Amino acid sequence: MKLLAISGSARRASTNTAMLYALQSVAGSTPEISVYDRVGELPVFSPDLEQDPPLEVAALAKAIAEADGLILASPEYIRSIPGGLKNAIDWLVSRNEVIGKPIVLAHASHRGDDMLHQLRIILATLSDRFNEDLFLRLPLMKLSPDEVAAHLSAPRHQEEMRRFLDAFANYCAPAVRLP
């Protein structure tokens, strides 16, 4: 099973991105997790470019198409979805790769409920397989990526992340393509 973990942050020292890398680490090779941390490199969405999208957009769409499920993690910017993540979603909205794709949220803060509410509405519109109830929230705000890694290496956090991944893998299982 292949999962794609998408960070909604353009910040290199993002706690959400660091959390996704910790999830990748705890997963090992089962499920296989790739982290996409380049929303800030996507060009601004333009409907005029949808038929022949820029290479960065085509690469993201291909990664999504090859994934059995998506994990999104995002910071909250002024009580809303960051522009980079919204831009990435805009590129995907009229494409087929995300339709019916299992999606869950993870969040690296004790705050951000306004953004999470908005993101839940958007993701439920994008995919009928968005699972609002399966959610990982870890209070990591203001930690550096190294501090996030150290914090999440604690056995209780490792177990919490493993349970989240196992539950998501089980949720994705009906959608996994048979050979």
- Higher local confidence (pLDDT), 175 or 15: 15
To the nearest whole number, what is the mean pLDDT of the chain?
A: 94
Instruction: Give the tens place of pLDDT for each residue, 14-29.
Output: 999 999 999 999 998 8
Q: What is the dihedral of CA 106, 160, 65, 172, to 10 degrees?
A: -120
Q: Which pLDDT score, from 0 to 100, does residue 54 have? A: 97
CB-based burial label for 97 (10 Å; 0-12, 13-18, 19+) = middle
- Average of per-residue pLDDT across 24-49: 95
Residue-wise pLDDT for 90-105, tens only, equals: 999 999 999 999 999 9
Over residues 120-131, the mean pLDDT reads: 95
